[in-house]
């Protein structure tokens, strides 16, 4: 009976040290600090020990080796050499390595927090032996670096969260995060409305009741204003400013906003967003390398790329303005 108890104690210690080696070292100190800031009590218990990474590693490895050696020696004293060797190898492999590492890898935080008192005891007892080795590793390897993910890895992580039942990330939050990650890679040409499908007006057009009714059918809240040759973008006409105003028989050029800004078609969206914020403008003309107007882009177009949803202006009659413009262009 005594032999069985000793064997079980040694196997249990072997399992604990093996599991803790894998489990605790899989929890990075930077990850634990983030969890502590979020109020995780288990992380708070583990972090003071885990931040001493090399001392923890040396202590657990040395303790595990010592326990496994003690188990082999003990079994060798109560059984023939070959049989003792086979039994100790089987016990250590299955119950001292495979099983505990499988368990601790899945429940590292919970089991690590519950076992941290035992780790502290062995770190204290083995400190004279482990400290010099840990110091040498610290000098040789330096501090642990935080895990830094590439943009593609972040996208993959978001996808994994999106398909997991345990994730608390909502669908719209995942969509916004994806949009933010890819935002800086896109150019204005990817989101602009091409000039060929723009519903625009000319600065020389005479505004009448019928003229306004025809414009209203398009469902836009604002119109780019070109010169009479339809070559240069000279302003923007906002429909809401015309409501209730005495503008009958006036020209578009007289009532439009002449303050117009331009962006190059090759500009990145992050630069475009900064330009919109700086100028507080809602619509920009898009020009090519020859300064020719090739399209328009709105603040809504830019923001849509981040949030991944169509933004509907309160004065817009249709939701997808770009698709409507393309349909109208095909009818002409």
Between β-strands 261-264 and 283-287, what pairing exists: parallel, antiparallel or unpaired? parallel
Cβ neighbour number for residue 18 with a 10 Å cutoff: 25
Q: Which tokens in the block code for residue 161?
A: 């969260």
Please give the pLDDT value at position 45: 92
What is the distance of C-alpha 40 from the center of its chain? 21
DSSP output for 203-225: TTPBP-HHHHHHHHHHT-SEEEE
CA angle 288, 178, 30 (to 5 degrees): 125
Q: Which tokens in the block code for residue 189?
A: 């040409």
Please give the pLDDT value at position 174: 72
75 contact partners, CB below 8 Å, separation of at least 6 = 7, 84, 87, 88
Task: Enumerate the domain spans of the chain.
Answer: 2-141, 188-331
Q: Which tokens in the block code for residue 145?
A: 């670096």
Please give the pLDDT value at position 316: 44
Pairwise CA distance, residues 183 & 118, whole Å:
49
SS3 244: coil
Helix orientation angle between 299-307 and 171-183, rounded to the nearest 10 degrees: 120
* pLDDT tens per residue across all 332 residues of the chain: 677 788 888 888 889 999 999 999 888 888 898 889 888 999 999 999 998 889 999 999 999 999 888 888 777 777 676 777 787 788 888 888 888 889 988 898 999 999 999 999 999 999 999 999 999 998 888 877 777 777 777 777 777 766 666 666 677 677 777 777 777 788 898 888 888 888 889 999 998 888 888 888 877 888 899 988 778 899 999 888 887 677 777 888 888 888 889 999 999 888 888 888 898 888 899 999 888 899 899 888 888 887 776 655 543 444 454 554 555 445 54
Nearest residue to 299 via CA among 277, 317, 315, 322: 277
Nearest residue to 195 via CA among 75, 285, 280, 131: 285
Given a contact cutoff of 8 angstroms between Cβ atoms, the answer to whether 161 and 169 are in contact is: yes
Q: How far is CA 67 from CA 13, 72, 113, 126, 257, in A?
A: 7, 9, 22, 13, 83
Burial 63-83 (b: 16+ CB within 10 A, else e): bbeebbeebbebbbeeeeeee
Please give the pLDDT value at position 330: 54
Please give the pLDDT value at position 148: 73
Q: How far is CA 145 from CA 22, 28, 181, 246, in A?
A: 18, 9, 23, 68
Q: What residue has token string 């979020």?
A: 38
115 contact partners, CB below 8 Å, separation of at least 6 = 16, 20
Pairwise CA distance, residues 177 & 65, whole Å:
46
Given a contact cutoff of 8 angstroms between Cβ atoms, the answer to whether 24 and 56 are in contact is: yes
Q: What is the DSSP letter of 200?
A: -
Cβ neighbour number for residue 265 with a 10 Å cutoff: 17
**Choices 3.40.720.10, 3.40.50.620, 3.10.580.10, 3.40.50.300: CATH for 188-331:** 3.10.580.10
Please give the pLDDT value at position 319: 44
């Amino acid at each position: 009976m005594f032999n069985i108890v000793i064997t079980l104690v040694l196997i249990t210690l072997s399992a604990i040290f093996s599991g803790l080696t894998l489990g605790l070292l899989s929890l990075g100190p930077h990850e634990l600090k983030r969890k502590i800031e979020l109020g995780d009590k288990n992380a708070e218990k583990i972090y003071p020990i885990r931040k001493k990474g090399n001392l923890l590693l040396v202590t657990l490895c040395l303790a595990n080796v010592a326990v496994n050696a003690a188990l082999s020696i003990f079994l060798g004293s109560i059984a023939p050499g070959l049989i003792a060797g086979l039994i100790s190898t089987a016990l250590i492999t299955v119950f001292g390595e495979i099983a505990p590492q499988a368990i601790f890898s899945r429940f590292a935080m919970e089991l690590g927090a519950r076992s941290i008192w035992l780790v502290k005891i062995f770190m204290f007892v083995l400190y004279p032996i482990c400290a010099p080795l840990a110091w040498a590793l610290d000098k040789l390897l330096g501090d642990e670096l935080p895990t830094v993910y590439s943009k593609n890895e972040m996208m993959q992580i978001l996808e994994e969260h999106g398909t997991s039942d345990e994730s608390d990330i909502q669908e719209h939050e995942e969509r916004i995060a994806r949009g933010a990650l890819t935002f800086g890679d896109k150019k204005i040409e990817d989101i602009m409305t091409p000039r060929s499908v723009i519903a625009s007006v000319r600065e020389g057009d005479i505004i009448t009741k019928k003229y306004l009714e025809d414009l209203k059918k398009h469902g836009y809240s604002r119109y780019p204003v070109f010169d009479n040759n339809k070559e240069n973008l000279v302003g923007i006409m906002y429909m809401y400013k015309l409501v209730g105003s005495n503008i009958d028989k006036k020209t578009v050029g007289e009532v439009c906003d002449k303050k117009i800004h331009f962006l190059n078609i090759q500009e990145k969206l992050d630069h475009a967003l900064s330009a919109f914020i700086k100028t507080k403008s809602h619509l920009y003309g898009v020009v090519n390398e020859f300064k020719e107007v090739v399209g328009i882009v709105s603040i809504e177009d830019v923001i849509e790329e981040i949030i991944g949803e169509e933004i509907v202006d309160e004065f817009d009659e249709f939701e997808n303005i770009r698709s409507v413009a393309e349909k109208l262009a095909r009818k002409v």
